Amino acid sequence: MADDETTNPSRLIDPRSGFCPDTNTFHSLRPRVPLPPPSQPLSLTQYTLSLLLSQSSAPAPNATVLIDAASGHHVSYSHFLDQIHSLTSSLAASTSLSRGHVAFIVSPSSLHVPVLYFALLALGVTISPTNPLSSHSEIAHQVQLTNPVIAFATSATSHKLPTLPLGTILLDSPEFLSMLNGNRPNSDRVHRVEVSQSDSAAILYSSGTTGRVKGVLLTHRNLIALIEGFFRLTSESRQKQTETEQPQPVSLFTLPLFHVFGFFMLVRAVAMGETLVLMEKFDFESMLRTVEKFRVNYMPVSPPLVVAFAKSELVEKYDISSLQLLGSGGAPLGKEVAERFAAKFPNIGIVQGYGLTETCGGAARMIEIDESQRHGSVGRLAENMEAKIVDPVTGEALPPGHKGELWLRGPTIMKGYVGDDKATAETLDSEGWLKTGDLCYFDSDGFLFIVDRLKELIKYKGYQVPPAELEHLLLSHPEISDAAVIPYPDEEAGQIPMAFVVRKPGSNITEAQVIDFIAKQVAPYKKIRRVSFINSIPKSPSGKILRRVLVTHALSAGSARL
């Protein structure tokens, strides 16, 4: 028996947790997903469209792929594919864009952006989309990092851009529309550029919540590996449901397409032949109206939106009975919020996932509704992924049930940070392990739990206090609509937990009541000792709390008391 274990290390892997005590490594409990040979030339566009067309249940040519929520304008799959072919051909003919060039994109979500992404990727051009609300200085920093040769913007955003070698093309100009809707070229035009899977596909920007924004370099193979996993697992799940044949799934995107979560969910949805409803500007009531109007089945969301669903009375005004599932990601979703949502919407499931821009957005997720009952978890390790839980002090890799920094390794891990070798070396080790900076643990069933960001832990008299734990408790209070917890400097304790609280309309909850509410539920060292009431919590597009903004606000407001 011992000899078998020596020659077959997989025998050592606990089938329940995925942990191998020999290497102190966690392995995915998902079936291994085969990937195309690395040497095979293949762009993300070519791969995604091949998946779309290979399905036995591929959408009919007149089936809808994109809907603009505001105008109601529909784009069919046949027209969408024609636009990709036309734009690819037009860009190749009218510009000197070539494989390896970078295209900078500054545009809100629109029906044109998905076509632009697929066309550029087909040409081997690296796409680099940014938040259209970025300031001049933020864009200048990103342009300096990525060195783009061309930009795509709108009339409202182009003024933020410097002059680039191939200029700026406006997505709302007649020139661009003619490129989109020109005569359809030879149908295999989109495949003529030979793109290597190891070529750069996208430079996406990390949220910058704990430092200056970094450009995360993802390859075609990184993204192919991610989508292949989603495609195989979703296909299997759908095959199980064949007896209750469902209409074409309709997803609503409140996520910005420049963010990794929105980007990969867009590509996944096209590969699966789904219908996407895009919202340029998010507004909670408009979102509810859109769900009702287009009979939306699924929405990828960030946790603040789940909180809004659970607490808002506006929901009662709309028919959202078509909604079957929310996919939560971008930040941890608290157990209390998930339970409150489940009590209010028993027919809508929530599956959680976890990832970083550095992992293409995917690292762990739930794939079955029964997994979603593990409240507080972000699911199990994604297919083809390995993980370690590393003690931040000793560097020792730990078994299930122990907290430490999460390290990840697998085919979706980024190539590195553009123009920042130092940051790349600090984050990626020589064996390909990505140090996430997240304090986590796996339970005995292989479910991953995110405790908090290591850098955001509050150090109270030597004790470590996770802000996320206190935030989840605060959100369970019926008079609190949103909350954030930060470290506040204290001469005696070093740091104390300070809460920023958004009251529900009509509430007069006091600082003393907030402090008392938490004190009854936590150990003494975790108590909140200072409260500030605020109109809204500043957040990144993915829903992450911008703690640095709140820390600055607290210090400037309370400097006299420091």
In angstroms, rounded to a whole number, what is the distance separating the alpha carbons of residues 482 and 173? 41
| Confidence band, pLDDT 50/70/90 cuts, at residue 210 | very low
Question: 494 near 461, Cβ under 8 Å?
Answer: yes
Question: What does pLDDT average to over the chain?
Answer: 88
Q: Report the distance separating Cα 359 and Cα 109, nearest Å.
A: 23
pLDDT average, residue stretch 367-396? 89
Q: Which tokens belong to 519? A: 């004190």
Phi–psi pair at 411, nearest 5 degrees: -75, -10
pLDDT surpasses 90 at 555? no
Q: What is the pLDDT of residues 481-535, one digit of tens each?
A: 999 999 998 877 888 999 999 999 999 999 999 999 999 988 888 999 999 999 9
pLDDT confidence tier of residue 4, bands split at 50, 70 and 90: very low
- CB–CB of 255/266 below 8 Å? no
pLDDT above 70 for 558: no
| Average pLDDT over every residue of 457-472 | 82
Show the tokens assigned to 62: 């007149």
Q: Which range among 108-112, 168-172, 546-550 shows the weakest confidence by mean pLDDT? A: 546-550
Residue 534 is encoded by which pair of tokens?
């605020």
Cα–Cα nearest to 329, from 295, 363, 296: 363
Class in CATH terms, 44-65+74-273: alpha beta
Residue type, 326: L
Largest CA distance in the chain: 73
pLDDT at 209 over 70: no
Segment 86-108 shows an average pLDDT of 95
What average pLDDT does this structure show over 544-549? 85
Residues 79-96 have pLDDT tens digits of 999 999 999 999 999 999
On the question of pLDDT at 541 being above 80, the answer is: no
Share above pLDDT 70 across residues of the chain, in percent, rounded to a whole number: 91
With a cut of 50, say whether residue 162 has pLDDT above it: yes
Kindly indicate the confidence band of residue 183, based on its pLDDT and cuts at 50, 70 and 90: low
Give the pLDDT confidence score for residue 185 in this predicted structure: 47
For every residue of 394-423, DSSP letters joined together read: T--B--TT--EEEEEESTTS--EETT-HHH
**In the chain, where are the structural domains located?**
1-30+283-456, 44-65+74-273, 458-561
pLDDT reading at 6 higher than 70 = no
Q: Which residue has the higher pLDDT, 409 or 302?
A: 409
Nearest to 113 by CA among 46, 68, 49, 47: 68
Among candidate residues 448, 429, 463, the one with its CA nearest the CA of residue 389? 448
The full length of the chain comes to: 562
**Percent helix, strand and coil across the chain, each to the nearest 5:** 35, 25, 40
Q: At 317, phi and psi to the nearest 5?
A: -80, -10
- pLDDT at residue 443 above 70? yes
Contact call for residues 33 and 381 (beta carbons, < 8 A)? no
Given a cut of 70, whether residue 249 has pLDDT beyond it is yes
- Specify the range with the lowest mean pLDDT, choosing from 15-19, 326-330, 497-501: 326-330
Q: What is the pLDDT of residue 58?
A: 78
Mean pLDDT of 456-472: 82
Per CATH, 1-30+283-456 and 458-561 having the same topology is answered: no
Can you give the pLDDT at residue 559?
45
Instruction: Please report which confidence band the pLDDT of residue 55 belongs to, taking 50, 70 and 90 as the band edges.
Output: confident
Question: Which of 50-54, 160-164, 280-284 has the least mean pLDDT?
Answer: 280-284
> What's the pLDDT tens digit per position in 262-272?
899 899 999 99
pLDDT at residue 160, as a whole number: 94
Please name the residues in contact with 33: beta carbons below 8 A apart, sequence gap of 6 or more.
225, 228, 229, 232, 233, 383, 384
What is the full DSSP assignment across 225-243?
HHHHHHHHHHHHHHHHTGG
Q: Sorting pLDDT into bands at 50, 70 and 90, what band is 2?
A: very low
Asked if residue 5 has pLDDT above 60, the reply is no
In this prediction, residues 290-317 reach a mean pLDDT of 90
Does residue 186 carry a pLDDT above 70? no
Dihedral sign of CA atoms 385, 389, 390, 393 in order? positive
Topology, domain 458-561: GMP Synthetase; Chain A, domain 3 (3.30.300)
Question: Using 50, 70 and 90 to split pLDDT, how confident is the model at 257?
Answer: very high
pLDDT of residue 34: 93
pTM over 0.95: no
What is the average pLDDT across 392-402? Answer: 94
Q: Give every CB contact of residue 230 below 8 A, 6+ residues apart in sequence.
A: 268, 271, 272, 362
Q: What average pLDDT does this structure show over 346-375?
A: 88
In CATH, what number does 1-30+283-456 get? Answer: 3.40.50.12780
**What is the rounded average pLDDT of the residues 193-209?**
87
Give the pLDDT score at 339.
85
SS3 325: strand
pLDDT, residue 241, reads 54
Q: Looking at 205-219, 228-242, 251-265, 462-476, which range is the least confident one?
A: 228-242
| Residue of higher predicted confidence among 336 and 155 | 155
- Residue-level pLDDT at 468: 84
In the block, residue with structure tokens 């935030």: 471
Q: Within 13 Å of residue 205, how many CA atoms lie on the same side as its CB?
A: 29
